């Protein structure tokens, strides 16, 4: 039992940072960023709250799905960059959208968030409990980037994308995974802990990385890179083996958009041609959980991805998490 993606929408803020913009405040250059990551520019939210971008994307998705917001039974918002610890982004979006009959909650699986949320949404429609579920991926990574760390701040962008799904009998398989032992490799502290008790806290990540900035994204790029190049192919293979299909059955791979070299290495490991991989990181950067649905929506809007084609959505991210969904569009 699978899902039908009834409608999708996306929203990115109008402001952006080009590679050259970074040369004004850190030691970097356009060539390094292009060749090491594939990124050229990335949208920046500025004044726009995370939920606002999510709402804009959700409005488009609902309009394209051709349904009334009151028919939505559940709103799941994926974010690692919520405007509030509480209320959830999902509750704010549910209200502003007029989804008066929907439940709402946020889901945080970092950059793998959309894969986790779509798979969660699938279970709600599959049981028949809800007819339509709205998944909204919205992220403002720029709000917690350490703009003095040239190894991480150049990677990320802000944006949102949303999908309305319903139950269907189309092809579907999924696999979700996590290796929490890698949590400290990509993290940002939420609540403040007094410096004098910080080192006494069990498993406090600052034991290992004393320079980790409070409330800013900290990343060990090399280790995350290694994890990512294994996690992407693994996410596909775990989902594929459940339904006995191979990479040759897939029309389009839609991977998490973190670094072009990660995607190229994953393609090689899978033995699939790069031409089958949707790439949007050059103009969006890494938008965390919004990256896969932004890429998916753009490819649908351009007519690259067509109805009836088989897709593999494969992601990885902080947690460390990973996950894949194989579905027919």
Binding site for ligand UT7 (CB under 6 A): 28, 32-33, 36-37, 111, 150-151, 154, 219, 221-222, 224-225, 228, 258-259, 286, 317
Q: Is the CB of 120 or the CB of 286 nearer to ligand UT7? A: 286
Q: Minimum distance from CB of 262 to ligand UT7 (Å)? A: 6
Q: What does R_g of the chain's alpha carbons equal in angstroms?
A: 19
Q: Minimum distance from CB of 283 to ligand UT7 (Å)? A: 17
DSSP conformational letter for 208:
T
Full DSSP string of 3-64: EEEEEEEEE--S-EEEHHHHTTTSS--HHHHHHHH---EEE--TT--HHHHHHHHHHHHHHH
Q: Is the CB of 3 or the CB of 33 nearer to ligand UT7? A: 33
Detail the DSSP E strand segments found in the chain: 2-11, 16-18, 41-43, 72-78, 103-107, 132-140, 158-168, 172-178, 186-187, 218-219, 252-255, 310-317, 321-328
81: tokens are 């960059």
The answer to whether 162 touches 136, Cβ cutoff 8 Å, is yes
- 256 as an active site residue: the answer is yes
The answer to whether 154 touches 301, Cβ cutoff 8 Å, is no
Q: Which of 4, 19, 153, 256 is catalytic?
A: 256
Give the three-state DSSP class for 162. Answer: strand
Q: Minimum distance from CB of 223 to ligand UT7 (Å)? A: 8
Q: Is the CB of 77 or the CB of 259 nearer to ligand UT7? A: 259
Q: Which of 111, 138, 153, 187 is catalytic?
A: 111
Residue showing the smallest CB distance to ligand UT7 in the complex: 221
Q: Minimum distance from CB of 217 to ligand UT7 (Å)? A: 9
- 111 as an active site residue: the answer is yes
Q: Minimum distance from CB of 317 to ligand UT7 (Å)? A: 5
Give the three-state DSSP class for 182. Answer: helix
241: tokens are 């083996």
Q: Which of 19, 259, 286, 297 is catalytic?
A: 286
- 259 as an active site residue: the answer is no
Q: Is the CB of 94 or the CB of 280 nearer to ligand UT7? A: 280
What positions carry a catalytic annotation?
111, 256, 286
């Amino acid at each position: 039992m699978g899902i039908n993606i009834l409608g999708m929408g996306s929203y990115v803020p109008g402001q952006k940072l080009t590679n050259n913009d970074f040369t004004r405040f850190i030691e970097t250059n356009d060539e390094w960023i292009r060749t090491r990551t594939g990124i050229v520019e990335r949208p920046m939210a500025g004044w726009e709250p995370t939920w606002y971008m999510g709402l804009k994307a959700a409005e488009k998705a609902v309009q394209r799905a051709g349904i009334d917001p009151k028919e939505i039974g559940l709103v799941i918002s994926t974010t690692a960059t919520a405007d509030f610890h509480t209320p959830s982004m999902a509750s704010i979006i549910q209200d502003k959208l007029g989804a008066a009959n929907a439940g709402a909650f946020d889901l945080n699986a970092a950059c793998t968030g959309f894969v986790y949320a779509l798979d969660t949404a699938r279970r709600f429609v599959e049981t028949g409990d809800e007819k339509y579920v709205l998944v909204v991926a919205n992220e403002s990574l720029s709000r917690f980037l350490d703009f003095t760390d040239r190894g991480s701040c150049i990677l990320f962008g802000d944006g949102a994308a949303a999908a309305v799904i319903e139950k269907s009998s189309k092809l579907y398989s999924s696999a979700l995974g996590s290796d929490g032992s890698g949590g400290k490799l990509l993290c940002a502290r939420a609540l403040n802990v007094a410096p004098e008790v910080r080192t006494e806290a069990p498993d406090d990540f600052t034991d290992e990385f004393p320079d980790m900035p409070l409330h800013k994204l900290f990343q060990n790029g090399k280790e995350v890179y290694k994890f990512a190049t294994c996690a992407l192919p693994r996410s596909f293979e775990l989902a594929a083996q459940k339904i006995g299909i191979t990479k040759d059955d897939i029309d389009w791979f839609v991977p998490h958009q973190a670094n072009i070299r990660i995607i190229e290495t994953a393609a090689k490991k899978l033995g699939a041609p790069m031409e089958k991989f949707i790439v949007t990181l050059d103009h969006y950067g890494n938008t965390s959980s919004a990256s896969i649905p932004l890429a998916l929506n753009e490819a649908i809007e351009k007519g690259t991805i067509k109805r009836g084609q088989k897709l593999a959505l494969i992601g990885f991210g902080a947690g460390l998490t990973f996950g894949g969904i194989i579905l027919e569009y």
